[in-house]
Structure 1
Amino acid sequence: MALAAALALALGLGVAACGSSSSGSGGPINLVAYSTPETVYDKSLIPAFQKTSPGNGATFKSSFGPSGDQQRAVIAGQPADYVHLSTGPDMKALVDAGLVDSNWDQNTYHGIVQDSVVTFVVRKGNPKNIQTWDDLVKSGVEIVTPNVFSSGGAKWNLLAAYGAQLKEGKSPTQALAFLKTLLEHAVVQPGSAGDALTAFTSGKGDVLLSYESDAIEAKAAGEAVDYVVPHDTILIETPAATTTGAPTQAQDFLKFLWTPQAQQLWANGGYRPVNQSVLAKNKDKFPVPPGLFNVASLGGWDKVNTEFFDPETGSVAKIESDLGVSTG
Structure 2
Amino acid sequence: MSQRLHAALAATTAALLGLTACSSPSTAAPPDGSTAETLRIVGFAVPEAANKAIGEAFNQTEAGQGVSFQTSYGASGDQSRSVVAGLDADYVHFSVASDVTRLVEEGLVAEDWDQGENAGVVSSSVVVFGVRDGNPKGIRSWADLVRPGVEIITPNPASSGAARWNALAAWGQVVADGGTEQEAAEYLDQFFANVVALPNSGRDATTGFLAGTGDVLMAYENEAILAAQHGQGFEYVVPETTLLIENPGTILVDATPAAEDWLEFVLSDAGQREFALKGFRPIRDGVDFGGVVEGSADPTDPFPQVPHLLTIEDDFVDWPTLTEKFFAEEGGIVTEAIAHSGKATR
Q: Same fold (TM over 0.5)?
A: yes
Trace 1:75-154 onto structure 2 (pairs within 5 A): 75-154=84-163
Aligned to 2:342: 324
1:264-289 deviation line (CA, Å, top 9, x unaligned) = 11100000001321179649221120
Gapped regions of structure 2 (runs ≥ 5): 1-34, 292-299
Count of residues in correspondence between the two structures? 303
SS at match of 1:273: coil
Residue identity in the other structure for 1:315: I
Residue identity in the other structure for 1:292: L
Q: Is 1:295 matched with 2:312?
A: yes
Q: Percent identity?
A: 40
* Distance (whole Å) between structure 2 residues aligned to residue 293 and residue 319 of structure 1: 21
Aligned to 2:56: 47
Gapped regions of structure 1 (runs ≥ 5): 1-24
SS at match of 1:116: strand
TM-score normalized with structure 1 length: 0.89
Q: CA deviation at 1:32?
A: 0.3
Cα 1:181–1:205 shift into 2, 3 Å? same
Deviates more, 1:73-82 or 1:275-284: 275-284
* Distance (whole Å) between structure 2 residues aligned to residue 325 and residue 89 of structure 1: 24
Could you tell me whether the CA contact under 8 Å between 1:125 and 1:225 is conserved in 2?
A: no
* Distance (whole Å) between structure 2 residues aligned to residue 219 and residue 27 of structure 1: 34
Q: Is 1:206 matched with 2:223?
A: no
Residue identity in the other structure for 1:182: F
Aligned to 1:311: 329
Q: Is 1:177 matched with 2:195?
A: no
Aligned to 2:19: none
Where in structure 1 do 4 or more consecutive aligned residues deviate above 4 Å?
279-283
1:134-179 deviation line (CA, Å, top 9, x unaligned) = 0001111000000001000000001011111111111000001101
TM-score normalized with structure 2 length: 0.84
Q: Is 1:284 matched with 2:293?
A: no
Aligned to 1:262: 271
* Distance (whole Å) between structure 2 residues aligned to residue 64 and residue 76 of structure 1: 15
* Distance (whole Å) between structure 2 residues aligned to residue 261 and residue 179 of structure 1: 39
| Partner of residue 45 from structure 2, selected from 32, 35, 45 | 35
Deviates more, 1:251-260 or 1:293-302: 293-302
Residue identity in the other structure for 2:336: K
* Distance (whole Å) between structure 2 residues aligned to residue 124 and residue 267 of structure 1: 24
Aligned to 1:11: none
Aligned to 1:233: 242
* Distance (whole Å) between structure 1 residues aligned to residue 273 and residue 40 of structure 2: 24
